[in-house]
C-alpha cells in the first residue's frame, strides 16, 4: 500500500529523550502492536514527552488512512488553511475537564469528539484519575468498535474512532510515592482510592502498564543522543508487516481464539504465564493481554514463535495488576 511521506515538522524526535531505555522499548512495542498504554510516574518524569513521540514511531499513514483523517478534521472545521491532506498521525491530548461531547462527540450540530480526531493516531489522557468517570466510561464503545454512530433528527452520523489510547497518572495523589528525594504525604488508603478511580472496564482495555520513574538530573541533559524515531520506526514497520502478513491486523486487534492460534508458543512459555497468573492473580483479560504483548515482542524480534523471554517481558508491563 502506498504511504504518505510525513511532513516531520511537528513531530518531536525520540533522540531528544536521554536515558529512559525501558520506556523507549515499551513505546516500540506499543507502536508495533497498536497496543493501549498507561504510564505511571511522578511529575516531571517525562510521561508527556514520551507520549508525544509515539505518533512518530507508528507506521506511516497509508493514502486511505490519510484521507480518513483529513475528512474527520475537515468535518470538525480543524483543517488548517492550505492543507489538502493531513500527512502525520494525529496526537490529541484533551484536558481532564473535557465534557462527554468533547471527548466522544455529538452535540446539537453533531461534531466529532477527541476520540475521532485521534482516529489513526494517539489519544493521550494525562492525569487519567482526574477525568470524570462517566466521560471515561463513554470511551469504551468507540475504542472497542473503532467508530461511533450518533443519531440526530432521524438521521445517523458515523464517525471513525480507531485510535490508540495512551494514559498517564501519578503513582499517588501527591505524586511523589517512590521518588528518591521527595516525600509522599499520602496514606495507604488514599493511594488505594486514587488507583481505584481508574480500575475496571477501561483499565481492562489497556495492554501495557509502564513505570516511568523519576529521572536523575544528569540523564536529562548531555550524553549521547538516543536512537532516532525514524530508525525505530523502521523496526516498528517491519514488525507490523509481519502481523499483517500473518493475520491481517495488528496484534492488539486479535480476538482470543485467533490470538492462541497465532502464538506458536514454546511449551515453557505458556507454563511460565500459568505460573505467574496463579502467583500474581492475573485476571483472564490480563492473561490474554500479556500474550498479545508477548506476540508483539516476538514480532519485533522477527521470530515466528513466542518464547519464555517474550512472556516474561510482557508480564513486566502489568505493574497495576501486581499492585493489587
Ligand atoms: Zn503521595
Q: 194 C-alpha to center of ligand 1: Å? A: 10
Q: 67 C-alpha to center of ligand 1: Å? A: 45
**pLDDT score at 324:** 46
- Using the 8-state DSSP alphabet, how is residue 90 labeled? -
**pLDDT score at 322:** 65
What are the chain's domains? 14-220 (3.40.50.300), 254-322 (1.10.8)
**pLDDT score at 80:** 82
Q: 171 C-alpha to center of ligand 1: Å? A: 7
Q: 181 C-alpha to center of ligand 1: Å? A: 13
Q: 215 C-alpha to center of ligand 1: Å? A: 17
Among 17, 57, 10, residue whose Cα is nearest residue 233:
57
**pLDDT score at 269:** 95
**pLDDT score at 323:** 55
Alpha-helical (H) ranges within the chain are 21-33, 47-52, 63-75, 100-104, 114-117, 133-137, 140-145, 188-196, 217-220, 229-247, 256-263, 267-280, 284-300, 308-315, 319-322
What lies within 8 Å, CB to CB, of 181 at 6+ separation is 214
C-alpha span between 224 and 61 (Å, rounded)? 30
The grid coordinates listed for 21 are 531505555
The grid coordinates listed for 218 are 544528569
Cα 243 from chain centre: 18
- 210 sits in which H/E element: strand 208-211
Q: 178 C-alpha to center of ligand 1: Å? A: 9
Q: 42 C-alpha to center of ligand 1: Å? A: 9
Q: 275 C-alpha to center of ligand 1: Å? A: 32
Q: 123 C-alpha to center of ligand 1: Å? A: 26
**pLDDT score at 284:** 85
Residues of the chain scoring pLDDT < 50: 324
Is 149 exposed, middle or buried (CB count within 10 Å of its CB: 0-12, 13-18, 19+)?
exposed
Amino acid at each position: 500500500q502506498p504511504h504518505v511521506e510525513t511532513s516531520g515538522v511537528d513531530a518531536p524526535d525520540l533522540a531528544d529523550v536521554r536515558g529512559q531505555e525501558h520506556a523507549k522499548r515499551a513505546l516500540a512495542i506499543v507502536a508495533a502492536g497498536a497496543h493501549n498504554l498507561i504510564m505511571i510516574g511522578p511529575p516531571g518524569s517525562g510521561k508527556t514527552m514520551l507520549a508525544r513521540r509515539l505518533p512518530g514511531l507508528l507506521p506511516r499513514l497509508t493514502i486511505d488512512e490519510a484521507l480518513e483523517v483529513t475528512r474527520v478534521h475537515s468535518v470538525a472545521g480543524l483543517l488548517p488553511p492550505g492543507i489538502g491532506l493531513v500527512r502525520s498521525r494525529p496526537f490529541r491530548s484533551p484536558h481532564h475537564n473535557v465534557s462527554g461531547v468533547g471527548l466522544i462527540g455529538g452535540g446539537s450540530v453533531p461534531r466529532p469528539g477527541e476520540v475521532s480526531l485521534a482516529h489513526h493516531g494517539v489519544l493521550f489522557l494525562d492525569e487519567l484519575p482526574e477525568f470524570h468517570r462517566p466521560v471515561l466510561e463513554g470511551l469504551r464503545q468507540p475504542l472497542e468498535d473503532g467508530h461511533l454512530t450518533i443519531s440526530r433528527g432521524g438521521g445517523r452520523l458515523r464517525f471513525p474512532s480507531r485510535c490508540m489510547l495512551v494514559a498517564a497518572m501519578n503513582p499517588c495523589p501527591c505524586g511523589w510515592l517512590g521518588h528518591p528525594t521527595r516525600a509522599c504525604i499520602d496514606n495507604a488508603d488514599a493511594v488505594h482510592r486514587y488507583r481505584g478511580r481508574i480500575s475496571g472496564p477501561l483499565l481492562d482495555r489497556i495492554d501495557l502498564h509502564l513505570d516511568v520513574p523519576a529521572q536523575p538530573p544528569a540523564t536529562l541533559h548531555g550524553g549521547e543522543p538516543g536512537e532516532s524515531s525514524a530508525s525505530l520506526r523502521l523496526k516498528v514497520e517491519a514488525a507490523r508487516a509481519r502481523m499483517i502478513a500473518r493475520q491481517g491486523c495488528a496484534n492488539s486487534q486479535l480476538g482470543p481464539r485467533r490470538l492462541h492460534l497465532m502464538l506458536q508458543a514454546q511449551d515453557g512459555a505458556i507454563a511460565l504465564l500459568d505460573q505467574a497468573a496463579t502467583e500474581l492473580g492475573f485476571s483472564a483479560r490480563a492473561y490474554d493481554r500479556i500474550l498479545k504483548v508477548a506476540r508483539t515482542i516476538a514480532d519485533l524480534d522477527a521470530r515466528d514463535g513466542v518464547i519464555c523471554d517474550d512472556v516474561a517481558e510482557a508480564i513486566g508491563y502489568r505493574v497495576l495488576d501486581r499492585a493489587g
